Structure 1
Amino acid sequence: MSQPSTKSTKRLLPTTTQDLDRPRKQRKNVTTPQQPSSTFTLLPTQTILSTLPSDTILLHSTNCFGEWGAGIALAIAHLLPAANAIYTTHCDSFRADPRSWPEREKLVGTCLLIPPLDADTKRNGGKEVWVACLFTSYGYGRATERKAGKDGKAVILRQTRGALGDLRGQLEGMREKDGKGGEDAKNEGVLSGDEVEMSDARAGAKKQGRQLDIYSPQFNSGSFGVKWEETEILVKEVFAGWDGKWFILSPPK
């Protein structure tokens, strides 16, 4: 059985334009819990995936093995196949070779924020939807020779806190107007085609100082088996004082 590699591999898709400037430990951990702010609430909505508005973030929790194979993750893969491909490539970039497992410590507790991609935007009538992938469990389901099983509840919650903190840092970075844009990166010749498209989208959001609304299911409560109320507490703590809107999609019937 292939085991997780300790060999460092080059990450193909940076999770944020600030990645190279911010230490990983600082991005992953939120060490001082804050009291939930009265200005930040989670709002219920009857919106479903197919009716998401443009200029929004679709957030969900995921594993580190590059597979959206069940539940809402599978629905997102059908809705946004280009984003699904980016997510899979991101996970695979942490494998020392195709048969090895992704490097756990470099993925768990982080967030991959995927901007709208042209193929998905055209597929969905011009709607631009971002995808926030919270790596809250290393594996999924039961362990097999090719993958790890889902983590225990306490571990998932700890990694959820880190991933939420990483996401908030990226969103705050997008609102800064002095960041390095996609055009500079292209001129330096350091980005591939997909990376250029992602970098351009992030740079555009930065220049506009955009505040994007977040839509999410009651993440972690499905195949990861964590009660939504426990994850909800973490969201309110990590996003205390956040002046954006966060909508909770109705659970499937």
Structure 2
Amino acid sequence: MISYIKGDLFSHKAPSGTTLLVHACNCRGLWGAGIATSFRKRFPSTYHKYVDFCKQHSDNPAGLLGKALILPSEALDPGKAGVYVVCLFTSDFAGKKKLQPLDIVYYTRQAMRSLHAQLPKLGGVETAGGKVVLNMPKINAGLFDVPWPKTEEALKEFDLQINVYALD
């Protein structure tokens, strides 16, 4: 189920359990624009882990497409500890070299499957009505330039509570 919340994604406070903050990422270790810069500023420890992970796959960055990387925040992060930052690898590059929208939606589905498979191993994450809660912006709709209804359609396939935050 998808719920829309007007407000700041980073203001989400889980009533119990660990918060999952999700965003779409490129495979090149770059959080240089869009909401990714906010993630980088609030959770620098997760940014460094993401960069290191991408470097480990620098021989074949596109091999990360369709994968999900779950990164725990740390106490020194300005955004606070006790948060999992989830990277969905939906496009190899950003900017002019980004994938086409239909490819990004395909890899979004794959990355969500990857995330869904990892969730049982986490334990202690926020749930509502027996479903794991994911909190995200309108992923892919910004710099990856995918029409939101296309990504929304892909997200609806998963038995999760997805809170989509928008400032406007």
TM over 0.5, shorter chain: yes
Alignment of 1:15-164 (within 5 A): 41-54=1-14, 55-96=18-59, 103-120=60-77, 123-124=78-79, 126-142=80-96, 149-164=97-112
Higher strand share: 2
SS of residue paired to 1:136: strand
| TM-score normalised by the chain length of structure 1 | 0.59
Per the alignment, residue 164 of structure 2 pairs with 248
Classify 1:117/1:209 alpha carbon distance in 2 versus 1 (closer, same or farther; 3 Å): closer
Find the aligned partners of 1:214 and 1:47 in 2 and give their Cα distance. 15
Shift of 1:158: 1.2
Distance in 2 of aligned mates of 1:140 and 1:230: 18
Of 45-54 and 130-139, the range deviating more from structure 2: 45-54
**Over residues 167-220 of structure 1, what are the superposed CA-to-partner deviations in whole Å (9 max), with x where a residue is unaligned?**
01111333xxxxxxxxxxxxxxxxxxxxxxxxxxxxxx3xx5764521100101
CA contact (8 A) 1:53 1:127 kept: no
Q: Secondary structure at the match of 2:91?
A: coil
Alpha-carbon RMSD: 1.9
Percent same amino acid at aligned positions? Answer: 30
Aligned residue for 1:171, secondary structure, equals helix
Structure 2 unmatched ranges of 5 or more: none
Paired residue type of 2:66: G
Alpha-carbon shift at residue 72 of structure 1 (Å): 0.6
Shift of 1:104: 3.4
Contact 1:58–1:214 (8 Å) recurs in 2: yes
Gaps of 5+ in 1: 1-40, 97-102, 143-148, 175-204
Whether the 8 Å CA contact 1:140–1:150 is kept in 2: the answer is: yes
* 1:171 aligned to which of 109, 115, 119: 119
In structure 1, give the amino acid aligned to 2:21.
L
More relative contact order, 1 or 2 (CA 8 Å, 6+ apart): 2
Count of residues paired in the alignment = 161
SS in 2 for 1:134: strand
* Higher radius of gyration, 1 or 2: 1
In 2 relative to 1, CA 210–153 (structure 1 residues): closer, same or farther, beyond 3 Å? closer
Q: Residue 115 of structure 1 contacts residue 129 of structure 1 at CA under 8 Å; is this kept in 2?
A: yes
